[in-house]
Chain A
Amino acid sequence: MLNLSEEQIVALAPDPASVKAGMGLSAIKNWQSLGAGNASIWGLCQGSGSSPYKTQVDLQDLASKCSCPSRKFPCKHGLALLLIYSRQKNNFPESKPPDWVNDWVVRRREKQTLPGIELPQKEETNSRQKGVEKRAEARQNKVSSGLEGLRIWFADLAREGMLSYLEKPPQYWTALSQRMIDAQCPGIAARFQGISARAFQLSQNNEGWLIRQLAQIHLLTEAWPQIEALPADFQQEIRTQIGFTVAKEEVMSQPGITDQWLVLGCHTTYEQKLTVESYWFWGIQSGKFGLYLQYIAPGQVPATRFVPGACVSGEWVYYPGINPVRGLFKQVAGTHDWQMPALQQTLSSASAQVAQAFAAHPFLERVPVWVSGVHFLAEEKQTWLIGAEGVAVPTDLTEDQRWLVLALTGGMDSDAFCLAGESGWAIAGICLQHQYYPILS
């Protein structure tokens, strides 16, 4: 049984305007009929059109669908339906879902390969297999040739010196990025695009940052020719960093970890035209972390939504790589309430764990880690995480996050889930008196 608070439902909204509109529609009188069944809820909402909008929510992963013209997900009708359900479950009589609900739910679950439902296997003919191999070989060659070109560029750069490159306009770095797209190395292209975005700041004491970025790209150009000699997890990591994708089906075929996964927080970023939602999870029994990346194109329906602070029970599977964190749910059984277990880990010990993770993985950006009994201390613009043993690490909290953390802790010690980065630790959420408060946004 889904047991979300209004607050958690509000967190699902794509923007404040949707919350406002959703709340306006969250009175029963706006709905002609409501129903629940097969882990889904539905309702008919009278809008401005002649026929009512058909709104439905899959309670397993809170995905929603509505016949209204809105391109937001969930739309105001989806939010309103969830809000009514959270307040007055009695108004949702259990019944067999109508066809328009049933078809959608069944289709979704088939796609998610939930237990008991076998995906039809594609029959690979010999010629088709050959075609795949041929295309893979062609890509290998393109990548090799592209990276060889990049090695020459690095050699020129080393000879000339980087001084004049600090003044290069963004277009210069974008052109390099484009070359890497042509060489089918989208991972490296994205790194050059990142440099392009900061091009105007490079000459302002940011040469150290540029050196680090270029050193990592160079490391990939060095690793590629000798990839066969590397251990399997490194091979996969290098391929991922260059931009080779792993088919979701391939990941799904790996054995997973069944656990209660706490949704630590969701961080939304924008890459080109895509919205990227990064959901961080922590398995209560396994103690493992997980990162689920959801790429949403404009107008596209997000495959799923998770509520920070809620607990998802399901089977999680990791993408291959070095100490993998990124993964996805192979199966979601439902969303539940939960209670935070007592955690014990000092800041020093967590820092050592972070250092180890960075040492093992040269391309790692954030190391998820939890610490217990820490204080938050605000000094000027910097907020510090202070361990009871007398050590401190800088955080990279935003202004809003900083005040929220200070308000919640008020000088008390707390347990914190952190995402340690090179320049500071982000705080995904804090635990106070067995209650979890998501901070990441």
Chain B
Amino acid sequence: MPLPKLQTTLLLGVEKAPPEPACLPAGLESYFETLMEGGKEQGIWKIAAVTTAFERSAVLPIAWQGQLPTPVPELLPYCSSHANHLLEKSILQEFHAIVEFWLRICLKKGYLAHPKVLPTLLQWATSHKRYWHPDFLPVIGERGKWLASKHAKWKDLLPEAPVTDPDLATGAAFTQYLRQLRLSDPAQALALAEERWSEAPVAQKAAMLEVLSSGLALRDEVLLLRAFSDKSPRVQTEAFSLLQALPGSVLAQKTTSILQASIRISSSKILGFIAKNVLEIKLTADPYDLEFLRIETLSPVKGKSDEQHILEQLMAMTPPENWLPSLPDQPVKLNNLWLESPFSDFLPAIEKAVLRFADAPLALWLIIHWKNAAPALLSYLPEGPQRYQLAEAFLSQTEEVLKALLRAETKSYWPLPFCQRLFTHFQGKPYLISLDETSRFVWMLPSKAIDALESTASISQSLRDKINLQVTLRDQIQQSFLP
């Protein structure tokens, strides 16, 4: 910054504020006359030039006293530079599922991301929270945590400080405290939730119910019933699901007893000799119970009776194992009763319950025996050849099959022949791969599937390249973490 006197003279002009030696830096005043020899108009600019040069060359460092950050030693080794490069590449290409894959492998193998990729990784994690899990935190190491703590946005990735006084904790911190307490002392956690219930906002109530879902027991029923009568539909629905999943709860008992009383197998004799099993369906329920269960009693669909509508609702909300005999273990003759009219009308409701309560044996039974079974049931089949054999029957519903298989727990790649047949159904459905949730499917493709993909003319070259690149990256990532 030029000296104040010089600045004033230049701003006001040499007529109003004539130049004087004080326009020069201290010590150079004696040069004033020399500089002014050509007249004051040129002289003031010469002074400005001298002052500028003087200031530029006189900037020295300032004295500093303070505490420097202490480097925190890392306990884990850094991954290879190639692995780091692959991480940067995946982030740059916006292959978010592959980044997630990289983080999983890095975590599993016990390595750290190199410091030079930390800003990119933390920025990615902040912008793509859907793919970032708090479990990945060890991958950024102590350096990453230190760095994140200094950044206004990245610090949200760090866990909140542990709550020491639950009375003062609110929001996510309280939920976290309650979760830990539920694991160590479920009854104490319930007591704390009951204490906070009446004051808690809707989101907090929903979060408390989610915490209570682990280690659910009959002692929780009172609070769950209180939640079931809450004003918020969100809290009601959450509480209802928990009450249904709680064996022996009043609510579960009511739905179970209604269904057991309404659907019965009886034997009838023809001409007094041949016994025939008959499935009787007749709603047997107290109207007060239906009201308590918040069941719609009028059918909104023309052609569907009120009775059928009520039973469908009850079936969809009740774990099938509570009221339905174990169909996979029944003789074939009896099985047919459930597959034929009139009960076959209720199979969609049963399917809803299977998906809701993850009833794996019944899911398998429905897929095998019911022609209208949904591909979503595939999610609950155990991993093995049977899962893929059954999936092939649904391949025309490609997107649903993909979603179900991606939801299913999978430890190894999909079989190559299955992939080959799957690709033939991609024609005209390029959106399949662009969907974020299905992009994880590149985790599941065996490397050889890429050759099959290359010869599949039913999908575009750019799509093939995209899949190819992701599978190649996946394989390179796996290689890069090998010792």
- Residues of A at the B interface (CB closer than 8 Å) are 5-7, 10, 16, 19-20, 23-24, 27, 151, 154-156, 158-163, 207-208, 211-212, 214-216, 218-219, 222, 347-348, 351-352, 354-356, 358-359, 362, 375, 377-378, 384, 386-387, 390-393, 400, 403-404, 406-408, 410-412, 422, 437
Which 5 interchain pairs have the tightest Cβ spacing? A161-B13, A359-B57, A411-B69, A215-B48, A155-B41
**A114 smallest CB distance to B (angstroms):** 33
Contacts of B11 in A (CB 8 A): 161-163, 207
**Is A391 a contact partner of B48 (Cβ separation < 8 A)?**
no
**B36 smallest CB distance to A (angstroms):** 12
**Is B89 a contact partner of A23 (Cβ separation < 8 A)?**
yes
Query: Which of A160, A351, A406 is within 8 Å of B13, CB to CB?
Result: A160
**A63 smallest CB distance to B (angstroms):** 24
**B289 smallest CB distance to A (angstroms):** 61
**B68 smallest CB distance to A (angstroms):** 5
**Is A218 a contact partner of B49 (Cβ separation < 8 A)?**
yes
Contacts of B115 in A (CB 8 A): 407-408, 410
26 contacting pairs across A/B (C-beta < 8 A)? A5-B81, A7-B81, A10-B89, A154-B41, A155-B41, A156-B41, A158-B41, A158-B44, A160-B13, A162-B10, A222-B45, A351-B61, A358-B57, A362-B56, A377-B68, A378-B150, A386-B68, A393-B61, A404-B116, A407-B119, A408-B115, A408-B116, A410-B71, A410-B146, A411-B71, A422-B56
Complex Cα–Cα for A151 and B42 (A): 8
**B6 smallest CB distance to A (angstroms):** 8
B75 within 8 A of A: no
B38-61 residues with Cβ-Cβ distance < 8 A to A are: 39-42, 44-46, 48-49, 51-53, 56-61
B129 within 8 A of A: no
**Is B92 a contact partner of A159 (Cβ separation < 8 A)?**
no
Contacts of A158 in B (CB 8 A): 10, 13-14, 40-42, 44-45
Complex Cα–Cα for A412 and B118 (A): 16
**B167 smallest CB distance to A (angstroms):** 35
Complex Cα–Cα for A286 and B7 (A): 43
Contacts of B184 in A (CB 8 A): none
Contacts of A155 in B (CB 8 A): 39, 41-42
**Is B469 a contact partner of A215 (Cβ separation < 8 A)?**
no
Are A23 and B147 CB-contacts (below 8 A) given A161-B16, A222-B46, A407-B116?
A: no
Complex Cα–Cα for A5 and B116 (A): 15
Query: Which of B39, B45, B81, B465 is within 8 Å of A24, CB to CB?
Result: B465
**Is A407 a contact partner of B147 (Cβ separation < 8 A)?**
yes
Contacts of B12 in A (CB 8 A): 161, 163
Complex Cα–Cα for A276 and B400 (A): 53
**Is A208 a contact partner of B7 (Cβ separation < 8 A)?**
yes
Among residues of B, the one whose C-beta sits closest to the C-beta of A360 is: B57
Contacts of B472 in A (CB 8 A): 27
Complex Cα–Cα for A355 and B54 (A): 10
Among residues of B, the one whose C-beta sits closest to the C-beta of A351 is: B61
Q: 6 additional contacts, CB 8 Å, given A377-B68, A407-B119?
A: A163-B11, A212-B52, A359-B53, A362-B56, A386-B68, A422-B59
B389 within 8 A of A: no
Contacts of A392 in B (CB 8 A): 61-64
Are A159 and B13 CB-contacts (below 8 A) given A19-B92, A218-B45, A386-B68?
A: yes
Are A437 and B116 CB-contacts (below 8 A) given A24-B465, A215-B48, A411-B69?
A: yes
**Is A23 a contact partner of B60 (Cβ separation < 8 A)?**
no
Contacts of B118 in A (CB 8 A): 407
B63-82 vs A, Cβ < 8 Å mask (1 yes, 0 no): 11110111110000000010
Contacts of B1 in A (CB 8 A): 208
**Is B69 a contact partner of A390 (Cβ separation < 8 A)?**
no
**A380 smallest CB distance to B (angstroms):** 11
B85 within 8 A of A: yes
**Is B68 a contact partner of A411 (Cβ separation < 8 A)?**
yes
Are A5 and B85 CB-contacts (below 8 A) given A20-B92, A161-B13, A412-B71?
A: yes
Contacts of A412 in B (CB 8 A): 71
Contacts of B66 in A (CB 8 A): 377
Complex Cα–Cα for A162 and B11 (A): 4
B143 within 8 A of A: yes
Contacts of A211 in B (CB 8 A): 2, 6-7, 10, 48, 52
**A291 smallest CB distance to B (angstroms):** 19
Contacts of B85 in A (CB 8 A): 5-7
Interface residues on B, range: 35 or more
Complex Cα–Cα for A192 and B143 (A): 46
**B85 smallest CB distance to A (angstroms):** 5
**Is B10 a contact partner of A218 (Cβ separation < 8 A)?**
no
Query: Which of B14, B17, B46, B116 is within 8 Å of A218, CB to CB?
Result: B46
**Is B57 a contact partner of A215 (Cβ separation < 8 A)?**
no
Contacts of B48 in A (CB 8 A): 211-212, 214-215, 218
B326 within 8 A of A: no
Query: Which of B56, B60, B64 is within 8 Å of A384, CB to CB?
Result: B64
Query: Which of B7, B14, B65, B81 is within 8 Å of A207, CB to CB?
Result: B7
Contacts of B81 in A (CB 8 A): 5, 7
Contacts of B40 in A (CB 8 A): 158
Complex Cα–Cα for A343 and B290 (A): 84
Complex Cα–Cα for A208 and B51 (A): 11
**Is A386 a contact partner of B64 (Cβ separation < 8 A)?**
yes
The residue in B6, B46, B49, B69 that gathers the most chain A C-beta atoms within 10 A of its C-beta is B49
**Is A215 a contact partner of B146 (Cβ separation < 8 A)?**
no
Contacts of A358 in B (CB 8 A): 53, 56-57, 59
**Is B61 a contact partner of A348 (Cβ separation < 8 A)?**
yes
B140-154 vs A, Cβ < 8 Å mask (1 yes, 0 no): 000110110011000
B468 within 8 A of A: yes
**Is A23 a contact partner of B469 (Cβ separation < 8 A)?**
yes
Query: Which of B64, B68, B71 is within 8 Å of A391, CB to CB?
Result: B64
**Is A159 a contact partner of B15 (Cβ separation < 8 A)?**
yes
**Is A215 a contact partner of B64 (Cβ separation < 8 A)?**
no
**Is A390 a contact partner of B63 (Cβ separation < 8 A)?**
yes
Contacts of B143 in A (CB 8 A): 407, 410
**Is B2 a contact partner of A212 (Cβ separation < 8 A)?**
yes
Among residues of B, the one whose C-beta sits closest to the C-beta of A346 is: B61
Complex Cα–Cα for A395 and B60 (A): 13
B93 within 8 A of A: yes
Among residues of A, the one whose C-beta sits closest to the C-beta of B82 is: A6
Complex Cα–Cα for A355 and B424 (A): 71
Complex Cα–Cα for A392 and B63 (A): 6
Contacts of A7 in B (CB 8 A): 81, 85, 88
B5-30 residues with Cβ-Cβ distance < 8 A to A are: 6-7, 10-17
Among residues of B, the one whose C-beta sits closest to the C-beta of A30 is: B465
Complex Cα–Cα for A391 and B65 (A): 8
Among residues of A, the one whose C-beta sits closest to the C-beta of B48 is: A215
Contacts of B16 in A (CB 8 A): 161
**A268 smallest CB distance to B (angstroms):** 18
Complex Cα–Cα for A223 and B178 (A): 78
Query: Which of B7, B52, B119 is within 8 Å of A400, CB to CB?
Result: B119
Among residues of A, the one whose C-beta sits closest to the C-beta of B461 is: A48
Among residues of B, the one whose C-beta sits closest to the C-beta of A352 is: B60
Complex Cα–Cα for A7 and B12 (A): 56
Complex Cα–Cα for A390 and B64 (A): 5
**Is B45 a contact partner of A215 (Cβ separation < 8 A)?**
yes
Complex Cα–Cα for A378 and B69 (A): 10
Among residues of A, the one whose C-beta sits closest to the C-beta of B57 is: A359
**Is B150 a contact partner of A390 (Cβ separation < 8 A)?**
no
**Is B49 a contact partner of A362 (Cβ separation < 8 A)?**
yes
**Is B49 a contact partner of A410 (Cβ separation < 8 A)?**
no
**Is B468 a contact partner of A27 (Cβ separation < 8 A)?**
yes
**Is A347 a contact partner of B13 (Cβ separation < 8 A)?**
no
Complex Cα–Cα for A20 and B92 (A): 8
Contacts of A355 in B (CB 8 A): 57-60
**B48 smallest CB distance to A (angstroms):** 4
**A246 smallest CB distance to B (angstroms):** 24
**B18 smallest CB distance to A (angstroms):** 11
Complex Cα–Cα for A384 and B68 (A): 11
The residue in A19, A24, A347 that gathers the most chain B C-beta atoms within 10 A of its C-beta is A24
B69-110 residues with Cβ-Cβ distance < 8 A to A are: 69-72, 81, 85, 88-89, 92-93
